[in-house]
Amino acid sequence: MSVFKYEKDADGIVTVTMDMTGPVNAMNQEYREAMAATIERLEKEDGLSGVVLASAKKVFFAGGDLNDLLAAQKGDEALFMEELHNTKDQLRRLEKLPVPVVAAINGAALGGGYEICLSCNHRVAWDDKGVIVGLPEVSLGLLPGGGGVVRLTNLLGLQSALPYLLEGTRVKAADAKEQGLVDELVATREELVPAAKAWILSQKDNPDAAVQPWDRKGFKIPGGNASHPAIAQLITVMPAMLRQKTRGLLPAPEEILDCAVTAARLDFDTALRVESRSLAYLVTTPVAKNMISTFFFGMNRLNGGASRPDGIEPRKVKKVGVLGAGMMGQGIAYVSAMAGIEVVLKDISAEAAEKGKAYSEGLLAKRVKRGKMSEEQKADILGMIKPSADNADLQGCDLIIEAVFENIALKHKITREIEPCLAENGVWGSNTSTLPITQLAEASEKPENFIGIHFFSPVDKMPLVEIICGEKTSDETLARAFDYAKQIRKTPIVVNDSLGFFTSRTFGTYLDEGVRMLKEGANPVQIDNLGKALGMPVGPLAVYDEVSLELTRKAQQTWKDMGVEDQHTDASVTREVVATMVEEHGRGGRHHGGGFYEYAEDGSKKIWPGLYDLYFDADTRIPEADMKDRMLFRQVIESLKCLQEGVLRTVDDGNIGSIMGIGAPAWTGGFIQFVNTFGVQNFVDRCRELAAAYGERFEPPAIAVDKAASGEQFA
């Protein structure tokens, strides 16, 4: 029995309902066989008046089978091209049937799923929040290789199609209708197939209804083809604009642009072959392997609860107390209120707490202005936040998050003072970015209910939460912190206790290596430019200015006072440079009047000239390849040490955490995944080269040496 159910009604309309054996419909071998048999049957069907493609699954169609794509290796391109040709040939035959074909979209239709929809003459979608369409392959280092680039370019025109293709935008049903991605909406799922059939019957006197626009005589691409002056100008400037955005590190966007331009330049079927060649190239690249491994498989495992303890019932936070209405506290209050949680935002004065709430009011006002929210909804969310200077308002909180200065004495004082306000078995979370949770929990009456909940700034935009377990943190507490992170729509990673945990500890090596190269005499402009060329969001010296040299100096003193100085790396060079900058030259960072950079009133910045006098040596010659590897490998090595020491519980936590929390270059797939495609033995060898030239901090961790010896990868 076929996994495609075939039903013909009295009007001659065949409904093909896709119901594959897995949890979702996917473009794998089973699909190819079922589609081939279905197309052949449709082509021979007597009295056929139309076709409706429907799905028996919650998801309309999930796209390509990423296990197959991940398995493709160099040398497999010819076989891959043959499979692509067969898949495309089936869709081409579908859209060339002599009768109208309609997609009845009942759920998500992404990637290959939406490519099937594009091969239909008409697209009807259920107007439901679970129905989204789009071509997000670029986010996995790929391109839509089932005809998606070519068809969308022909449907919308080059200029309109490029944002969907280059950004991988996922579009909700109502917006998709407005933007021309679907043609019709229905209010309920039950109306889908009847609406599709009704459209077919309404077109019985329209011969063009069964012909795709690009197959009609005299068809012209909306907005013009590649020869149109406006499009020709766009084609001239787009490569430079794209290169500025990707820095040449992501091949998929460049291939997508090339294929889209080809679709605007050549005939339809030739453009399809060019698209196939591009995907056959991309699918074997290390970048695609890295991005598929982490952004799809790793992310699905984490979001599916792989790091959450088993056997504990999910619970939602009803009332959260946030201590400290500064930059972090006000952001935590906002995302909590947006999730429907009652918030008490407490500071030392009512005025400070009110100022913290005003941050949420400003963000909500922007949403109202953009039409994303009504004034009533804004008022409801603001009503969830109670600014306060009174501890009594915190009574009954099932979660309290402390977000005050990184001072252990202050944090201990607040814990002792306010912990009794928690509801019975309530959870205390600290938003510390570096201080060990086990030591912070020493002030708690219930250290088993004490956990680190590390947010990233700005909280409303950053998608990650790093959950840190102290020595006595219970599984129940971990599960509740994990559930809270999901409740406020964040991706949680779970790590064990350590100074700096995973993200701060690893990111610190990037800053440290930048400072070391500065001390060695390298040009500061070159250091920061190469950091960005590597794919990091900002150069290390520029980041240091933002996080504050003054704050680093104070943190280093705090760690020393606690007896927990960073034992993982020799930070003496950084301490010396920071002390020189702050104590001798008053250069504390951007918010202290300037640091490595000086800042103009118009927002521009340039390297502080004194930096050249202090450190620059024109005779210093560090190869650029070494400079980039030093900044990357320091972070990778530290990530592996965190895995080796048990600070990281899983490889997925390390990869997702490095991408979302540290800003690891997307092309790496995360700092640990990078080692897999670089080659574990190659990584060990390169570490030893760097160690011989620049110091023992580059020695490969034992975990990497062992993996190389056994021929294993990190999984």
Q: Show which residues are catalytic.
A: 454
Segment (H or E) for 268: helix 268-282
Distances from the Cα of 292 to the Cαs of 285, 646, 655, 708, in angstroms?
A: 11, 25, 12, 23
**DSSP assignment letter at 61:** B
Cα–Cα distance, 711 to 525 (Å, whole number)? 40
What is the residue type of 707? K
Nearest partner of 61 among 1, 122, 106, judged by Cα? 106
Phi/psi at 467 (5° precision): -95, 125
As a residue count, the chain comes to 715
Neighbours of 187 (CB within 10 A): 10
Distances 178 to 125, 136, 175, 220, 367 between C-alpha atoms, Å: 12, 19, 5, 22, 20
Half-sphere exposure of 193 (CA within 13 A, CB side): 16
CA 349 to chain centre: 37
Nearest-10 crossing angle of helices 503-519, 524-534: 140
Q: How far apart are CA 548 and CA 587, in angstroms?
A: 9
Structure tokens at 189: 């799922």
Residues 251 and 140: their CA atoms lie apart, in Å, by: 11
184 phi and psi angles, rounded to 5 deg: -155, 145
Instruction: Return d(Cα 621, Cα 627) in angstroms, integer.
Output: 10
Q: Give the integer Cα–Cα distance in Å for 305 and 308.
A: 5
Q: At CA 547, angle to CA 546 and CA 552, rounded to 5? A: 135
d(CA 490, CA 334): 13
Between β-strands 132-134 and 184-186, what pairing exists: parallel, antiparallel or unpaired?
A: unpaired
Question: Can you read off the two tokens belonging to residue 362?
Answer: 């400003």
- DSSP summary character for residue 190: G
Residue 125 pairs in a beta bridge with 105, 185
For residue 572, give both structure tokens: 């003496």
CA distances from 159 to 152, 236, 513 (A): 11, 13, 42
Q: Give the pair of three-digit tokens for residue 203.
A: 């077109």
Sort residue 147 into left (φ over 0), alpha (ψ -120 to 50) or beta.
left
8 Å CB contact between 98 and 147: no
Round to whole Å and give the CA distance between 370 and 243: 30
Burial of 360-399, coded b for 16+ CB within 10 Å and e otherwise, reads: beebbeeeeeeeebeeeebeebeebbbbbeeeebbeebbb
Beta bridge partners of 496: 469
